[in-house]
Structure 1
Amino acid sequence: MGACISRNNKNNSNNNMREILLYKGEFLGADLRAMFNNPVYSDIIITCKDGGVVYGSKLLLAARSDVFSRLILNNEDNNNRDNRNKDNRDTFSTDDNHITFTEFCSSTLLIILEYLYMGDIMIESLTLNNIVEAYLGAEYFLLPGLEEIIITFLDNALKCSADNNLSAKLLTQASEYMLPSSDDVFFRTLHNRLVVTPLESIEYNNLTAEGLLYVLSPSNMDTDYEEFVTPEYGVFRYVVLWAAHRCNNSNSVVTYFEPLLPSSDHAEHLDANEIEQLRKSHEKNKKKSKSKEIKEKIMVLLKPLLSLVDFKLIHPSVLANIIEPLDIVPNDMLIEAFRYQAQLPAGSGPRRNRGTITAKPENLRFQWSQQACGKQCVLMESDTLLKSNSRKFEWARASLPIRGHEIYEWDIYIEETCKHLWIGVCTERRHKVDYSTYLGRSNYGWVLGSNGSLYHNNQLYSKGYGVKFGKGDRVTVHLNMGNRSLAYSINGVRYGEAWNTLPAELYPAVSLKKSAKVRIEMHKKPIIIDNSKYMLPQPPQSSIHTRTNTSMVSPVISPINTSVNTSINNSIITPINTPRPTSQVTAE
């Protein structure tokens, strides 16, 4: 690819170009690449804001870009004017054979010209350092095809990066040039990554006020498909500490608030001693002379952000014991949240996250994560089927975390097995995970092995918890987030509690190696019908086991969900217009 050529190394570059020209005439694409940024075939010089120059052909650029066409072909008319129109002179200036762009670096103009010459760019042209300006350049020169290439690169880079701060940094950088908007695909891509990144993992100096407003604004959330991975209390905590870090004399403000805001994992599980300690801390702070001054400082920054926190999604105990004593949230917001909590139906706890996925277990999309799996794991069939080509153990987790207080259940179908297969859950919060290992060895994995034993932190917790399982079997995981416990069923037979005191955030996970292939699906419960309510009188001469009158039974069971098997007296009644099952599912 052509590089930015300075006036000093012009002769060396010409020698390299002569070697390329020896092969001209064979392929149009090769000839165009030889012309790209080549002074030999150029009749215009483009100077950039960093002092670098790029070479181009007037006719080619004018033919390929409306913007260049206006700049180059209308240049003569522009030179005859009395400088009456200077709308874009802060961005560029032109004369007969020269254009100066004061807003774009040479690396950006090289990407623009490479696309105009070739209709594509080499992937090495884009980096995380120039991607924001490259996208701005593609917008400025009206090149939607190049915009699409840049967005694809951005999306892949964000998915592959282990740096949780990357999206925030790029959002801050892009916000310096454009107002963040969900209508812009660049900002939308960054937003989609940020909502699945825990806010607490993002350094406070990497998000500006504009960026934080954009991320938290409900109008930017597609609630049918997106989940905000940070619990709402975590959002409040981050907002307060973000504002504290931006205050003058921030050390004193941070020192004041940080001990009063427990982590998201711990906030809902404070014991009596911890609550009492918090109360004493608040009483002590009230006596400090600078307490009022500190709160006034932080409220200047907090005021526009507090309206973006949905306090109705925060547990009442957290509202009462942690947030209300801070005395920085308006009373009407807290009263509304308490009223909402009080009006909830008995037994139904509130959601903890904005978005719909964690609100209802039945809406959870069970898929394996392409970013959170071993290097030789292969995902198929919309990421629901997972196999491994590794001779050593590796593991993978699902794409979205599970939190809240409800019951989540999913099935792992074993289509192919290996010597040992492990099924369970994992957590990644505050852990540096290694996907190229056996999950039961780590302190962030809880698994049941195909030998029927339970393992965690490289320890055998229960030998013979369940029966052995293998190819063709179905393992169901029952996760109760209300009491943080987990149990298993194997082919419909449920066993006792396997784990308890699990973390507040978990992912479905499996550990496997070569030959194994497993599928993850939402668990479908069988319907058990009371025989005494629905059995019809049978003539004495006919046997119930020989034939079932579907015309008589269908009206009786029609209100029942027929998407699952129905067991009556150990025989299967197949509803009309549904395929007859090949095997009976035992009630759990």
Structure 2
Amino acid sequence: MSRGESLVEDLKVMLNNPRFSDVKIKCSDYKDNNDILHGCRMILAARCEVFEELLFNEMRETDKIFFPEISTVAMKVALEFIYTGTVDENNLNTTNVIDVYYAANYLLLSALEEVTFSFIERILSSNIKTSIVKLFSAMITKFDVQEFKESRLFQLLCKKMMKIPLGTLAFEEISFDVLKVLLSQTLDQDEYFATSEYGVFRYVVLWGANKVSTQALAAYVKILPPDDSVEAFCDERIQKNEELIEESKYRPQILKQIDHLLPLIDLQLINMKILALIIDPLKLHSVECLIKAYRFHAISNIPTKTTRGSLVNRKITWDETKCGPHLIVNDDGTIVQSLARNNSQMAIAKQAFKGEDILQWDIVIEKNTKYVAIGVISYTEIEKPEPKLSKSLVWQPNCWCISSDGSYHDLTSSREYELEAFEEGDTVTTHLDMSKRTLSFSINGRKMETAFRNIADKVYPAISLTSLGKLRIKSLSRPEEKLSTDFKPDYDDMLNAILSRLLI
């Protein structure tokens, strides 16, 4: 292309070209003259207010500018944008995009901020765990969290980090600062956190032990079982009347690593049995912290949630890989429907529920069908056979459900339920109490008696429908919680009674 045909192409020729430049720019990683960037004073000042202020006021007598907080790579992208109004996204990646965003923010280039923010959003949409952690770590390193925590970039990355179970992250991936910021900024968040509070405690302690030595890590792995086996671990201790044997020789070194992280763990969200049989004997928390948690459990007349954040309005979506062959799921994952005339087939949600929470969600009958079943199912691909998706929910092993003919079904039986048949437009609410392992239902707000007891400790929402049916699943909610104020117990007597029952 000849000169004069394209302004953008002509400006690219001038970009970082000493022949057309009268300003030299050094950045934070400057080592020698090869790292010097070149710019035109008039173009820089006309296109960027920060450069104008520097070049015509503070540094009007010099041709050198130093940016101690902006990297050379980030400045190159910023200069490209200043000169041409565009960015070659081939120059952006997970390693440098936070630096570029910082440079755009520093230079008050709002349009470049938008470009980099959109690029970050596209990276995050792939939900690649390593990319999310890398971007979050880079952001914490680059920005002052206290000043930046209200920004949309921080909120976006923080929400993405909350959805990654801590137990899936290698200890080497996470720095102290990353853990501290993540835990401090999510302690009172309304967003759902993917790790139970006991899981947070376990990860923090093992992270600290890993910092001490491989021997310390091995010792604490033995006495801190993962979420899915912690209850069995506690029950075994009670049955055998065994106390937890802790490797106290490592405690001072581990405390040195995690002392400032422990206050960011909410012990009130941890099951009292786990507190008494696992956490208390470790002597990592102060007696005052433990007593406060015990007392909270003693005066609460409702089962406490076990995860920080809120389940309110958490989106439930159908798993496209766990749907019958003639069922389809819409783009946002909330609607499942059958477009063909077929026998009853089932769909399972992506989200599993366990722990001790009390949850409820709605299924709306948007298009009536001959037969609908609504409930939950439990399965693990290793231990139990996978559900037969081409069959009705009522015929699945380990299911608990009601059907549109007013009956309810589990693994062993099928019985009538005091519920009228579902009709188009009806809303069926599933009420799940994981603390009591019970399941009940209501239709259009009228709640029925408990349908099932002793359900599995991990379940997925599930439905089945026949030809031309269409169902929508709506967001989770949680019944309103209140602490009992009808009595004022003797805290010490109650605490002693609780501990004595646990340790019998």
Q: Common fold, TM-score beyond 0.5?
A: yes
1:144 maps onto 2:98 in alignment: no
Counterpart-to-counterpart distance in 2, 1:307 and 1:238: 14
Secondary structure of the residue aligned to 2:192 is: coil
Counterpart-to-counterpart distance in 2, 1:429 and 1:201: 18
- The alpha-carbon distance between structure 1 residues 329 and 271, as it changes in their structure 2 partners (threshold 3 A), is closer
Per the TM alignment, residue 339 of structure 1 is displaced from its structure 2 partner at its CA by 2.5
- The alpha-carbon distance between structure 1 residues 230 and 366, as it changes in their structure 2 partners (threshold 3 A), is closer
- The alpha-carbon distance between structure 1 residues 132 and 41, as it changes in their structure 2 partners (threshold 3 A), is closer
- The alpha-carbon distance between structure 1 residues 515 and 113, as it changes in their structure 2 partners (threshold 3 A), is farther
- Counterpart of 1:474 in structure 2 is 427
- The alpha-carbon distance between structure 1 residues 228 and 274, as it changes in their structure 2 partners (threshold 3 A), is same
Please point out which of 486, 498, 513 is paired with 2:439: 486
1:200 maps onto 2:161 in alignment: no
Secondary structure of the residue aligned to 2:254 is: helix
Please point out which of 43, 47, 52 is paired with 1:60: 43
Equivalent residues, number: 449
Counterpart-to-counterpart distance in 2, 1:423 and 1:120: 52
Counterpart-to-counterpart distance in 1, 2:397 and 2:154: 33
Counterpart-to-counterpart distance in 2, 1:47 and 1:173: 22
Per the TM alignment, residue 199 of structure 1 is displaced from its structure 2 partner at its CA by 1.9
- The alpha-carbon distance between structure 1 residues 470 and 270, as it changes in their structure 2 partners (threshold 3 A), is farther
Please point out which of 36, 61, 68 is paired with 1:78: 61
- Counterpart of 1:232 in structure 2 is 197
- Counterpart of 1:343 in structure 2 is 299
Higher helix share: 2
Per the TM alignment, residue 263 of structure 1 is displaced from its structure 2 partner at its CA by 1.7
Structure 2: segments with no counterpart, 5+ residues: 383-387, 480-504
Q: What are the Cα deviations for residues 523-571 of structure 1, in whole angstroms up to 9, with x where unaligned?
A: 999xxxxxxxxxxxxxxxxxxxxxxxxxxxxxxxxxxxxxxxxxxxxxx
- Cα RMSD after superposing both structures: 4.8
- The alpha-carbon distance between structure 1 residues 180 and 353, as it changes in their structure 2 partners (threshold 3 A), is same
Counterpart-to-counterpart distance in 2, 1:40 and 1:263: 55
Counterpart-to-counterpart distance in 1, 2:134 and 2:463: 33
Counterpart-to-counterpart distance in 2, 1:427 and 1:152: 39
- The alpha-carbon distance between structure 1 residues 406 and 441, as it changes in their structure 2 partners (threshold 3 A), is same
- Counterpart of 1:386 in structure 2 is 335
- The alpha-carbon distance between structure 1 residues 321 and 367, as it changes in their structure 2 partners (threshold 3 A), is same
Alignment-mate amino acid for residue 316 of structure 1: M
Per the TM alignment, residue 281 of structure 1 is displaced from its structure 2 partner at its CA by 5.4
Alignment-mate amino acid for residue 213 of structure 1: K
Amino-acid identity (%): 25
Per the TM alignment, residue 215 of structure 1 is displaced from its structure 2 partner at its CA by 1.2
Please point out which of 398, 408, 416 is paired with 2:367: 416
Q: What are the Cα deviations for residues 322-375 of structure 1, in whole angstroms up to 9, with x where unaligned?
A: 11112222222212222332233xx323332333x25xxxxx2153459x7679
Q: What are the Cα deviations for residues 17-38 of structure 1, in whole angstroms up to 9, with x where unaligned?
A: x27x69x3xxxxxx45434533
Task: State how 1:5-404 maps to structure 2 within 5 Å.
Answer: 18=1, 24=5, 31-35=6-10, 37-39=12-14, 43-44=20-21, 59-70=42-53, 77-79=60-62, 89=66, 91=68, 103-106=70-73, 108-117=74-83, 119=85, 121=87, 126-163=92-129, 165-181=130-146, 182-217=149-184, 220-221=185-186, 223=188, 225-247=190-212, 250-268=213-231, 270=233, 272-275=235-238, 279=242, 282=245, 291-344=247-300, 347-355=301-309, 357-358=310-311, 364-365=312-313, 367-369=315-317, 377-378=329-330, 386=335, 397=349
Per the TM alignment, residue 242 of structure 1 is displaced from its structure 2 partner at its CA by 0.8
Which structure exhibits the higher relative contact order, with contacts defined as CA atoms closer than 8 Å and separated by 6 or more residues?
Answer: 2
Q: What are the Cα deviations for residues 499-535 of structure 1, in whole angstroms up to 9, with x where unaligned?
A: 744335x56455789873525267999xxxxxxxxxx
Secondary structure of the residue aligned to 1:365 is: coil
Counterpart-to-counterpart distance in 1, 2:40 and 2:131: 37
Structure 1: segments with no counterpart, 5+ residues: 1-17, 25-30, 81-85, 92-101, 286-290, 359-363, 432-436, 526-588
Secondary structure of the residue aligned to 1:412 is: strand
Per the TM alignment, residue 161 of structure 1 is displaced from its structure 2 partner at its CA by 0.8
Per the TM alignment, residue 213 of structure 1 is displaced from its structure 2 partner at its CA by 1.1
Per the TM alignment, residue 402 of structure 1 is displaced from its structure 2 partner at its CA by 5.1
Alignment-mate amino acid for residue 69 of structure 1: E
Moved more, 386-395 or 317-326: 386-395
Q: Is the Cα contact below 8 Å between 1:352 and 1:404 reproduced in 2?
A: yes
Alignment-mate amino acid for residue 291 of structure 2: I
- The alpha-carbon distance between structure 1 residues 407 and 343, as it changes in their structure 2 partners (threshold 3 A), is closer
- The alpha-carbon distance between structure 1 residues 206 and 366, as it changes in their structure 2 partners (threshold 3 A), is closer
Secondary structure of the residue aligned to 1:475 is: strand
Counterpart-to-counterpart distance in 2, 1:115 and 1:480: 55
- The alpha-carbon distance between structure 1 residues 507 and 38, as it changes in their structure 2 partners (threshold 3 A), is farther
Per the TM alignment, residue 447 of structure 1 is displaced from its structure 2 partner at its CA by 7.2
Q: Is the Cα contact below 8 Å between 1:36 and 1:56 reproduced in 2?
A: no
Per the TM alignment, residue 469 of structure 1 is displaced from its structure 2 partner at its CA by 5.3
Alignment-mate amino acid for residue 333 of structure 1: C
Alignment-mate amino acid for residue 378 of structure 1: N
- The alpha-carbon distance between structure 1 residues 515 and 269, as it changes in their structure 2 partners (threshold 3 A), is same
Q: Is the Cα contact below 8 Å between 2:244 and 2:278 reproduced in 1?
A: no
- The alpha-carbon distance between structure 1 residues 495 and 143, as it changes in their structure 2 partners (threshold 3 A), is same
- Structure-1-length-normalised TM-score: 0.62
Bigger radius of gyration among the two: 1
